[in-house]
Amino acid sequence: MQEIYQQLKQFGHVRLNEPLAKHTTFKIGGPADFFVEISKTDELVDLLNFLSGEGVEYYVLGGGSNMLFNDEGFRGVVIKLRTKNLELRTNNTIVVDTGVLLSLVVVEALKNGLSGLEWAVGIPGTVGGAVRGNAGAMGKETANVIEKIELWKDGEVTELKKEECNFSYRESVFKSSGGVILQAHFKLVPGDKQEILTAMQGYLKQRSGRYPTEPNAGSFFKNIDIQKWSGNVEELPPLFVERKKVPIGWLVEQVNMKGYAVGGAKIANEHGNFIVNTGKATQQDILTIVEELKNKIYNKFGVEIEPEVEILNF
């Protein structure tokens, strides 16, 4: 362990046995053997090449939202991204390092009168996480504003055009075929600053009071595509049909699971698609709720619900 510790120090600040609960919005997760903080993209590439060449297990961590670590931790290297380059270029393009908070890109777009990211105001997490999971809200998603992605994979740095990223609802090629996102190129359109700000304020108002303040990982399950709905679509609220999605929060209400608790975990009272850590929740507490909820919804509606949150069992 001491040998690899000394080798890792050449790439960034290293901590031993770092509790992952400190670095996730769920506040759940055991210790990582090695925790390396990286602030520059070239250092990230060098570290990935080193770990890949040595056969060392690693996991890349951004903002820590939308994930659930296990309580035993990680036997390997967790790379904490603190890359921070954010650059406005010509043709209304913003180029951003993977470790930059999505909220900072939203602010940069507003400052320069660029429209397309208003929906993302208030969304936590980094650019890399938003791209990988095709984060979205208010009927919009990250894929709408991506031009291309710079990626490390198998020792090489390449570019993928938007069409090559295979974006779909909360999915991308990066989930299925691996690789580490280095930078994202956001293609926006000119707009009126006041109109952009007004739209952002409207979205924030819609969010106000709807979501829990206790530690959570964001929306836990993917909403159901209307085409996968097993019942009579005409019996659903018209808004669901219009948006082609059945919200998980509504399904949770139909099976009376709001407020359901196991150990230190609970389905939020504010929104049925959020599971919160009320104090000392374990991964198993969360997973017990997940299984119970999946069974209840399947038994009543005949549909399988799928986690949006990444459940990590190393």
170 counts as catalytic: yes
Which pLDDT score is estimated for 314? 67
182: CB partners within 8 A, 6+ apart: 41, 44, 45, 97, 98, 150, 151, 152, 157
Is 219 catalytic? The answer is yes
Determine whether 230 is an active site residue: no
Residue pair 151/159 in contact (Cβ under 8 Å)? The answer is yes
- Alpha-carbon span 158 to 140, nearest angstrom: 27
Specify the amino acid at residue 251: L
Alpha carbon distance 3, 34 (integer Å): 12
Q: By the 8 A CB rule, do 41 and 194 touch?
A: no
In tens, the pLDDT along 179-238 reads: 999 999 999 999 999 999 999 999 999 887 788 999 999 999 999 999 999 888 988 999
Beta-carbon count within 10 A of 314 CB: 14
Interval 254-264: pLDDT, tens:
999 999 999 99
Quick: pLDDT tens for 270-286: 999 999 999 999 999 99
Check if the beta carbon of residue 37 is closer than 8 Å to that of residue 64. Answer: no
Of the candidates 219, 234, 243, 253, the residue annotated as catalytic is: 219
Tens digit of pLDDT at every position of the chain (314 positions):
678 889 999 998 999 999 999 999 999 999 999 999 999 999 999 999 999 999 999 999 999 999 999 999 999 999 999 999 999 998 999 999 999 999 999 999 999 999 999 999 989 899 999 999 999 988 899 999 999 999 999 999 999 999 999 999 999 999 988 899 999 999 999 999 999 999 999 999 988 778 899 999 999 999 999 999 988 898 899 999 998 999 999 999 999 999 999 999 999 999 999 999 999 999 999 999 999 999 999 999 999 999 999 999 86
Please give the pLDDT value at position 177.
Answer: 84
User: Which of these is catalytic: 115, 141, 170, 172?
Assistant: 170
Partner residues linked to 114 by β-bridges: 190
Residue 1 is predicted with a pLDDT of: 67
Active-site entry in 18, 37, 118, 308: 308
pLDDT the model gives residue 199: 96
Domains of the chain: 2-81 (3.30.43.10), 86-196 (3.30.465.10), 224-312 (3.90.78.10)
Closest CA to 125 of 162, 184, 86, 81: 81
Q: pLDDT value at position 302?
A: 94
Residues pairing with 245 in the sheet? 225
How many CB atoms within 10 Å of residue 271?
A: 21
